[in-house]
Amino acid sequence: MNKKIQLQDLGTKDFKDTWDYQETLFKAILETKIKNRREDAGLVTDNHFLFVEHPHVYTLGKSGDLSNLLLSESQLAEKGATFYKINRGGDITYHGPGQIVGYPILDLDNFFTDIHKYLRFLEEVIILTLAEYGLKTERSPGETGVWLDVGTPFARKICAMGVRASRWVTMHGFALNVNADLGYFDHIIPCGIRGKAVTTLNNELGVDSVDENEVKEKLLKYFSALFEADFV
């Protein structure tokens, strides 16, 4: 079992280019697994973790409802945003500047073969990280992601999640709103959930901005602890 994870921070990168790159890494792991199964090759599978910030983009999961996007093609262009229907779970979400996006591309055979546990661990990484900023965040029953004030009229999501898995290999991941422009969420029904707000870390802390590199360090600390993994 290989518990080393190759870490890359891609900086600001186009969503489609990043998606294509994810697919390349994802397929390489799958090919290794298939070769091992067919030939008993005994090859070690790689694990990857990508940090990235995307220019304004809306993405719709494979089970999502297009009506949750409230902009026309021309309005998207006016907002400087793009749109993609993609192969992760979940409905519609927004990515943009001020948001930390994490894409773990893992062979879960190296860790544990349980997608439910995997999603809960991703949520726990976020919950523990935000606790360091004095925020009490939690899960919302039946709604993947991380929230504040669950069960109240003030419930709001701070981190969205959506993953794809095949043969226990994962891709896509989480999007944590750190310093994001919340105005872009007004043009969708986030994750297809009506009547619930979205928030950011800097908004919750009442500050102009939060150091995103510091947040990334905390995310990696808890990811490493929960998955008993080493970043290289």
Q: What is the pLDDT of residue 194?
A: 61
CA 51, 170, 92 angle in degrees (round to 5)?
A: 70
- Is 37 part of any known ligand binding site? no
pLDDT value of position 144 = 87
Catalytic residue among 108, 191, 210, 220: 191
**159 flagged as catalytic:** no
Is residue 93 a known part of a binding site?
Answer: yes
Distance CA 90, CA 55 (A): 20
84 annotated ligand binder: no
Residue 232, in any domain of the structure? no
Q: Which residues contact 39 (CB under 8 A, 6 or more apart)?
A: none
Stretch (H or E) spanning 94: strand 92-95
Residue 95 in marked binding region:
yes
Q: Is the overall model pTM greater than 0.85, yes or no? A: yes
174 belongs to an annotated ligand binding site: yes
Query: Does 99 reside within a domain?
Result: yes
d(CA 47, CA 29): 8
> 19-40: per-residue pLDDT in tens?
999 999 999 999 999 999 999 8
- Is the pLDDT score of 192 beyond 60? no
With respect to residue 197, please indicate whether it lies within any of the assigned structural domains.
yes
pLDDT for position 63: 81
Q: Is the confidence at residue 193, as pLDDT, over 80?
A: no
Q: What is the pLDDT of residues 79-89, one digit of tens each?
A: 999 999 998 98
Average pLDDT, the chain: 94
Q: Are the C-beta atoms of 103 and 52 separated by less than 8 Å?
A: yes
State the residue range of the domain holding 89: 4-226
Instruction: Give pLDDT, residue 143.
Output: 86
Give pLDDT tens digits for 137-148: 999 998 889 999
- Counting the structural domains of the chain, the total is 1
CATH label of the domain that carries residue 98:
3.30.930.10
Radius of gyration of the chain (CA): 17
